[in-house]
Amino acid sequence: MPVNSDPNSERKQELRLFEKNTGLRFRNYSLLNQACSHRSYSNEHPQNRENNERLEFLGDAVLGLVVSTYLFKVLPDRAEGDLAKIKSIVVSEESLSLIAKELEIDKLLLMGKGEENSGGRAKKALLADGLEAIIGACYLDSDFETAQQFVLRILVPEINKVLEDKHKKDYKTLLQELVQKELRTYPRYNIVSKTGPDHDRTYVMEVVVQNQSMGLGTGKNKKEAEQAAAAVAYERIQQKN
């Protein structure tokens, strides 16, 4: 499998620090370095042709298998639908990006200047993809058991949060399910305003149900603002009920 060229001594120090903080051990630092290389970086540095997309694809599969197996074994009385719902929350972009932030993967990522200047290190998709790529790299560098141990170490606490209903809620989904059940309709989202430069935008979104404004939400992108608005609307409808 082709990988990036061997990282220099300064970069190796950064990778070793990451190993120390995560408990991982890599034999091939080029593989770990590739897992942290966004496509925008390889586009600007022809000598580093490989980015982390293929590793992210592999890591996603490893992650899914590990979480599915764990849930199947520890929750023998749960139906398939319940297991699928728990898994979708645990391996969501929201959940993985928070873990990636805790592991300081944001500091380790290599990205192009354009992506960097547009706030790439804070983008949830990039962080989640980076974590999945590292899982894929761990699997290739060691074996499935090592990758499995790492995944369980970082995700079992998240699984427990979901089982204890202490996880961060996906209010857009909750609101849609509630509105469909109670009112036989769907929520609609509108942009109220967007302010600030491209790299530091602030959005205000409104959620409308049956032509009535049910809540406003603010966020650094549309998704965050919609989630905030949905949370307000969900709690409002719940209180009415």
Q: Report how far residue 115's alpha carbon sits from residue 221's, in angstroms, rounded to the nearest whole number.
A: 16
Q: Is 60 a catalytic residue?
A: yes
Backbone angle region of 204, left / alpha / beta, with phi > 0 → left and psi within -120 to 50 → alpha: beta
What single-letter DSSP state applies at residue 191? Answer: E
Beta-bridge mates of residue 194: 203
Nearest partner of 200 among 111, 95, 122, 125, judged by Cα? 122
Per DSSP bridges, beta strands 202-209 and 188-195 are antiparallel
Q: Is 106 a catalytic residue?
A: no
Which residues, 6+ apart, have CB-to-CB distance to 66 below 8 Å? 147, 148, 151, 152, 155
Beta-bridge mates of residue 193: 204
- Which strands sit side by side in the sheet containing 188-195, from one edge to the other? 188-195, 202-209, 212-219
Set 60, 115, 129, 206: catalytic member: 60
Q: Phi, psi at residue 145, to the nearest 5°?
A: -60, -40
Set 132, 141, 158, 226: catalytic member: 132
Reduced to 3 states (helix: H, G, I; strand: E, B; else coil), residue 50 is coil
Residue type for position 113: K
Residues that are catalytic: 60, 132
